[in-house]
Structure formats: structure tokens, C-alpha cells
Structure 1
Amino acid sequence: MEGKEEDVKLGANKFSERQPIGTSAQTQDEGKDYKEPPPARLFEPGELTSWSFYRAGIAEFIATFLFLYITILTVMGVVKSPSKCSTVGIQGIAWAFSGTIFALVYSTAGISGGHINPAVTFGLFLARKLSLTRAVFYIVMQTLGAIAGAAVVKGFEKSRNFELLGGGANSVAHGYTKGSGLGAEIVGTLVLVYTVFSATDAKRSARDSHVPILAPLPIGFAVFLVHLATIPITGTGINPARSLCAAIIYNKKHAWDDHWIFWVGPFIGAALAALYHVVVIRAIPFKSKS
């Protein structure tokens, strides 16, 4: 029994950290540890002469266009229905947003990374995952794609119906304060961007081959859960391009009254997620540079 006890002690102390479930590859070969890639340069002029750079921007434009088209039509369909029993309801809206994100992230991840959201792009930029050049280009293309998607919906619904049904624009619901709306957007975006960081972490991808394949799934579920929680408060923004472009096409005063919330909230949430991932989860500032 003494020999058995020694074996147990050896096994318990073999690794300096307890390994999470699903990382057996790490325990099998510690010698093949992951090496941190260098941070993206702040300015990358060479990108401007690369076709892949513009192809990625076009992918972001098309993905955000499709995202706005599907989700705003779903929201307006729910508003239009005279009875909750004859519509998909809040759960259906949440599934529309999450399912569309799942499909579009899966489709565009290999081209642009599948951001489809300026808050996601901003968070990844703060974590030095992409250059400022690319971040600005993505946000511009996402915004233009969102405008196009909302405009097509307005064309289908005709101006009168579009205005009567609210155009899918975000606003703080009656009975909630601006502070409540801002808090909901901050926490909702934190959940989303934190999930993006975790699902796309290159260190996990290097050790678990299934992670890149499954990445769109947790991101889609994060969108679903956030929508269930915050639709009653703000209609769920967590995506400044979605909120801005619905407001531009709808263009009514109440859609602009609290619009700042749908930019400030998501950007704060994205910044917190980036800070948490880089400093706490990956501890990059504390790692030896040797």
C-alpha cells in the first residue's frame, strides 16, 4: 500500500496546475506548450495593398447585411402580430439573432474572423488581435452592411408599415432608467465578447482540435441568452452597428433619445471582456518575455 500511496502523490503533484476537462492533449505532452503570438501592430499599411484585407471587409459587409435583414424582419413580425400565441415571441427573436450569428460566424470566420459587430472588433483590437487599420475598416463595413440590411427591410415593409412596427430600433423600455439600460448593455456585451475570446482562444485551439469547429456554437448561445435577459429592458443592442442602422432607417425621435447607451454600453462591455481575458485568464502582462 505504501507504494500505491507514493504513486498517488506523484500523480497529484505531477502538474503545477489542475487541468480543466477537455484538455487532455495538454497533460499528454507539456513539451509542446503554446507560444504566445506577437501582438498585432497598431498600424499595418501593408494590409491596404492586400486583396485578403478587402475580401475580409466585404465578408463583414455581407454578413452584417444578412444579420440585420433576418433579425429586423423577425422583430417586426412579432410586433405586427395581434396575439402572442400567433407569433414566435421573445424566444423566437432570441433564436433568430443567435441562429443567424451562429450561421454567419461559421460562414465568415475563415475569411474575416466573423466579427459582425463593432463591439467584438473593438474588444479584439484592445487585446491586440488585429490592427487599428483593420479594426476601423471592419467597423465601417459592418455599419454600411447594417444600413443596407435595414433599408431592404424598409423596402419590403413599405415606409408606413416600417414606421408603425418600430423598424426594429432599440430604446430603453418604459419603466427602466437610463442606468438600467446602460448596465444591461454593458453586461450583455461582456458576456458576448468574453465568450468570443474563450471560444476563439488560439491556445485552446492549439491543444484541442475540436475548439475551432465548435467556436460559433457557444457564441450563438451567448447571443441567445443575452437576448432572453435584455429584450425586455433595451430590446437588446450589444451591437452598435445593429442599433445605429435601425435608428437611421427608422429615424424617429425616441429611437435617438437614448441612442448613446447602445454605443457606450457595448464598448465598455467589450473593453472589460478584453481586460479580463488578457490580464486574468491569460495573464499575458505577467508572463516572462524570455
Structure 2
Amino acid sequence: MAETGQSVHIKSAPKDYSEPEPHVLWDSGEFRKWSLWRAAIVEFVATLLFVYIGVGAAIGNGRTHPDGVGMLGVAWSFGATIFVLVYCTAGISGGHINPAVTLGLLLGRKLSVNRAFIYIVAQIVGAICGAGFVKAFQKTRFQVEGGGTNFVAEGFTSGAGLGAEILGTFMLVYVVFSATDAKLKARDSHVPILAPLPIGFAVFVVHLVTIPITGCGINPARSFGSAVIWNHGKAWDDQWIFWIGPFIGASLAAIYHQHVIRVLPDKHFLLPTLSLSTMPKARPQS
């Protein structure tokens, strides 16, 4: 016990984590780096494989055919494919495989604008090629099953379809932010290895609830690729839902994670937002 009059100094434990600085918004030097184009190729190939396997499973034998994989099988095919592809590509491109995920991470200042643009172009082209392979291998079934294209099912309104896409994408991008959080990586070494698992499960569970409504897009590239190859009016009538919905959902997820879950400064978000610290405080009642 310390003697009277002497002060006891307790050393505070050093912080085990410091928040990384937000990524620069524009880096023209990236265009001259092989790492950017290698990552773009990886996003192209991964999105091609994702659409090929997912859409192929959706139209193979028909989801309602007795020998088909059924809705549960389709959901598993998309979720499991995302799991393995994110595992393979996360160390190179970040494993986005989805323009909505890329937009969400861009808003969270996780990559530059120019890299995000290149990624989205690569994802769109990859999705078109993936759907093209499905048609090439299963031409008759592709036409009969509508090319695995996303559109609002009969009995549902466009508003219901839009809401389902917003909520589904919010779920996915929220899980992506949480599973790849740099703070968790710094404190738990196993997090980078396990990150693809919750992301794949998020895609799986969202498909379970959204397939009956829209066929489950939550990925503009996947929806656009099938629509381009099938090229029927029904696919294009609802196409706007599968861009606006996922982009709104991804934006809301980025805001929620950065400002509510992590309470990060405004510099960690691309667009201006109202900081909680600048909101007027309630006056005490007299």
C-alpha cells in the first residue's frame, strides 16, 4: 500500500489499434500499376464464374422441375459460390464481385474512385460473359427459363421489388463491412480467414427471402448480364429496380456501419453527412 502523501501512477495500456486513414479519392498513378489491372481481371473472372454457376443452377432442369435444384439449391449455389470466390480473390481485389459492394466500399473510403470505376466495368463485362456461357451450354433451357433474368414476379408491385432489393443489398453490404472491419482484423488474426463465410451466408439467406419476389438480384452486374444475353422486353422493364435498389441499399449500409456502428469521423465517408457531434444538444427542461 502506498504511503500517505504519495501518488500512485497507473500506466494506461497502449492502444492496440489505430484507425487507418481513408483511401485517397483519386489516384491517377493507379492506372500505371499492374496491381490495378490484375485486380480488374480477377473481378472479371470471379463475376463471370459467379453468374455462370448461379444462373446455370437456376435454369438447369428448371427450379420447379422434379429433378431441379429448387429454390433452396439456387440460394445455395449463389451463396456458396460467393464464399469460395471471395476466399480466392480477397487478397488481390478485395473480392467485391458486385457493383453494389464496390459502391458501398467506395462510400466508406475503402478504395479510390478510379479503381471503383474499373472494378464495376470489369464486373459488368464478366457477368455478360458468364450469362453467355450459360446460354451457349444450355441454349434451349436458357430461353425456356428466361435466362435466369431478374424481374418482379407476378403478384408483387414494383415498390415491393424495389424494397426487397434495397433490404437484401443492405444486409449483404452491412455484412461485408462488418466481416472485413480493419478493427476486427487487428484484434483477431482469424478474421481475414473467416470473412468469406459470413458474406456467403448473407447471399444465401437473402436469396431465400428474395427469390420469390424478384429472383434476387442484389447485384446489378448479375441482373444486367442475364438481361443482355436473354434480351427480352420483360427483363428490361424492371431493370432499373436492380440498379437503384442495390445502390440505395449499399449506400445505407455504408452510412450505418461508418456512422452508427463505428462512429467514425466524416472523412471516412465519401458524401457529406450530418455528424452526430454537430447535432444540437437538447436543452435541459426547467
The TM tier, using the shorter chain, reads 0.7 to 0.9
What is the RMSD of the two structures over their aligned residues, measured on CA atoms? 1.5
- In the TM superposition, residue 129 of structure 1 has moved relative to its aligned partner by 0.4
> Is 1:66 the counterpart of 2:49 in the alignment?
yes
Aligned amino acid, residue 156 of structure 1: F
1:156 aligns with 2:128: no
Matches within 5 A, 1:175-186: 175-186=155-166
**Shift in Å at residue 246 of structure 1?**
0.3
Is contact 1:170–1:255 with CA below 8 Å preserved after alignment? yes
Question: 3-state SS of the aligned residue for 1:152?
Answer: helix
Note if 1:32 corresponds to 2:12: no
The alignment partner of 1:259 has SS state of coil
Residue deviations 1:158-179 (CA, integer Å, cap 9, x gap): 2x43211210100000000000
1:180-233 per-residue CA deviation (whole Å, 9 max, x = no partner) reads 000000000000000000000001000011111100000000001000000000
Counterpart Cα distance in 2 of 1:186 and 1:78 = 30
DSSP-derived class of the 2:239 partner: coil
State the distance in 1 between where 2:107 and 2:61 align. 37
Amino acid at match of 2:127: A
1-structure distance, mates of 2:85, 2:141: 28
8 Å contact 2:63–2:70 — kept in the other structure? no
Contact 1:78–1:89, Cα closer than 8 Å, also in 2: no
Aligned length: 257
One-letter code of the match for 1:264?
A: I
Kindly provide the CA deviation profile for residues 116-173 of structure 1, in whole angstroms up to 9, marking residues without a partner as x. 0000000000000000000000000001111111111111112x43211210100000
Give runs of aligned pairs for residues 182-221 of structure 1, distance below 5 A.
182-221=162-201
SS at match of 2:125: helix
Partner residue of 1:20? none
1:30 deviation in Å?
A: 4.8
Does the 8 Å CA contact 2:104/2:251 hold for their aligned counterparts? Answer: yes
2:248 equivalent to 1:265: no
* Contact in 2 for aligned 1:115/1:121 (Cα 8 Å): yes
Partners in 1 of 2:111 and 2:195 — Cα distance?
Answer: 18
Deviation digits for residues 264-289 of structure 1, max 9, x if unmatched?
0000000000000110111112699x
The alpha-carbon distance between structure 1 residues 82 and 208, as it changes in their structure 2 partners (threshold 3 A), is: closer
SS at match of 1:47: helix
- Which AA in structure 2 matches 1:148? C
Matched-pair contact (CA < 8 Å) for 2:63–2:69: no
Give the unaligned 5+ runs of structure 1: 1-28
In structure 1, what residue type is equivalent to 2:59? M
TM-aligned CA deviation for residue 87 of structure 1: 2.1
Aligned equivalents of 1:250, 1:270: Cα separation in 2: 27
- What is aligned with 2:68? 87
Please list every run of 5 or more consecutive structure 2 residues that lacks an aligned counterpart in the other structure. Answer: 1-11, 266-274, 278-286
Of residues 224, 232, 239, the one that matches 2:212 is 232
TM-score by length of 2: 0.87
Q: Normalising by structure 1, what TM-score?
A: 0.86
